[in-house]
Structure 1
Amino acid sequence: MAAKIDFSPLFQPLQIGAVTLRNRVLMSALTRNRALPTNVPNDLMVEYYRQRAESAGLIVSEGILICQQGATFARTEWPHAPGIWNQDQIVGWKKINDAIHEAGSQSFAQIWHLGRPVYGPSAIAARGGKFRFLPGTPGYVTLILVQPTEIDDPMKLVALYKQAAINAKEAGFDGVEVHGANGYLVHEFLDSGSNLRMDSWGGSIENRSRFGLEVLNAVSEVWGPDRVGIKLSPAGGYNDMGMPLEETLETYNYFIAQVDKLGLAYIVLQRYTQFLDPIIDGLKQSKRRAIDHDVIGAYGHLVKKSTLLSNGSFTPEEAAQTVSEGKVVGVFWGQLWVSHPDLAKRIQNGKATDTPIDLHTLYGNTAGTTLDDQRVGYTDYPFAECPSL
């Protein structure tokens, strides 16, 4: 008979900065592309978050756009992602946060700028990629090659992050997470492949790190650093990101050490996952981009003043062991929360977490545009028979 897995390490309270969490089964940001008919959070999104807040220790919102990205959303891969730059959006998020808090969870807003699909540190487009292991034509398949405009003054963008942080506070969040991963704007400044600037925002590791540190300082002025987190993906891959291993190690050793000095609520290190490393399409190449390495082992020792969290295809068993060994103090899940709205209850009660995701509806139901259409693959996944936490 197999030994019973001890999941109790995941169900101890956790203090991250100024926020107390009831457990360590955390929900990561999950762009679901459901803010229809506009980019204002709607009642269906309230239902989605309420379902998962019944058991999650912390809910990090899907990526929230800090400003209109381009003249229209036709230029973005996420035409129905929610924003937080106007009052209607703030009111929509307030409804969601009220539901999360009523269910007993806490919420951080992941503030997000797409970067080079519109404008970036340098005028270098991201090469397109395909998730080749997916059958058929599921939702988001191929990046559109768009030549970005080089940002003239990065401090203008820093100001937008700060305003988004102010708006997130008005919307009732408990803190903010800066999206510094997956090839979006903060990540683009860090990576020498997407940042070819020769001014004070590029070139050296210190200069490439400047933008992310300026953003963190700006949002910390609004919230205090103990209610600010950052998500990083040193292994790269997504959105055509990735430096040679030695340069990756040097860059992230410096950047994470500097971030930790701020004493943030948390730093989350995203492990390598193939799903976020699509094959790059080129005239004479077809390859993955990521530099796969042990991100917890490589950088975890640098996190001393902040709280170290991780995500990236953990099994519940692996997460419990990683927390019990003190390598991290909590674990985020993404896709498991999509198809298991009661994930934490399932883990605590030893229930199966094998409900498959419908990849064709992961980023919106392309078969229809009504709210009822969008429930499919969003709020209609089954719950298990579990007692309350």
Structure 2
Amino acid sequence: MFKIVDKPIHIDFLHGHHLHCMVCQIPSHLAMRDAACRLVDPEAGWQRIRSILELVREGQGNLKKCHFLIFPEAIMPLARVEDALEIIVSGFRPNSVVMFGIEHMRLSEYRDLLRRYPADNGEALASVEEDLDSGDIEQLPTNVAVTVVKEADGRTRIFLLAKSHPFVGEEHLDAQHDLYRGKVFPLFRCRPACFNFMPVICIDYVYRDVYQSNINHIIEKANQLFFQTRQRLDLLAVLQFNPKPEHRAFRDVVNGFYGEYLAYTPGVRDTITVFCNTSGESSGIVGNGTFSFGHSSVVIHQSHKIGPTTDPEFEVDDFGGLPVCRLRFGTATRLYYFNLPLFHELDPRTTRVPLKIHGIFRPEGDQWQRIEETGKMQM
């Protein structure tokens, strides 16, 4: 069973201004090697990631306002993690957060990574060392995500998260290829900004067993936060390598998360859920039936009253009749730059819409080109 651990961070977002987020829907090509999912061409993948990091670091136009940069699951080559961190540490602006998934590593490698940054990962390190002490599991594949926080004073902090879902193949049981089950989920508590967010890795969003439901545990923690402090879970970021992003399992969890069918859930009612998936060009381990990568999305409660919209690059719907508003992107390789709709911006006296797309970028060689006509897209 996993636990959620509060991680206070010094982030000072400007009050009264919405936050900006970039979702990187880029391709990933994975293959099974040594009982783990490895990148087929890690150097090509790294060059693509580096070009995005450089784009945000340069900050042309309003990219200087980018607060959250989100990459998909299993996108970063393990050998290039330190290179990515160097770019973020040396060039990113204060009050910014970067999330990315790493290709599978051995549990012993995850422990070594935790030991490099023990100050911010004490609970996860203790959990891993306890598990390693209990059996011969050093070679167990581990699915890891990194959250890099550039605090208001310029200090950089690095947090690690291991996926709790136990199966490599996800839709079928892999008795010989079980993943390590992460047991510590960080909940980031921004001060003095009073903004709270969590990352989760793909199917951890829907995973449950006979003892615990991941999403129910998150809801209970957010409700506890509300009743004790009158704060909420503001952002839930789901990092995916998902060939079935609109699978019934995900739709059902979205429905229950926002529906409040059995109890009031004030801790998550205004949560923004961002699903960052790889693009439709991706390839790798998939289950049975039809599949399609892409369709990253942003989901908020229906009270925000964003009407249906259709555009070549995106659409707005209610996810097939759910109590939500969903901004659903396509399958192409794109960078989507938009603002996060803050709950306190909802005002029945105005027609102002809380979600705006500030830019969509497509790849042009080894660079990224803004699709100019999206500059005025607003729902």
TM-score range, shorter chain: 0.3 to 0.5
Task: Identify, as 1 or 2, the structure richer in helix.
Answer: 1
- Kindly indicate which of the two structures has a greater share of residues assigned to strand: 2
When the two structures are superposed, what TM-score results if normalisation uses the length of structure 1?
A: 0.42
TM-score, normalized by length of structure 2? 0.43
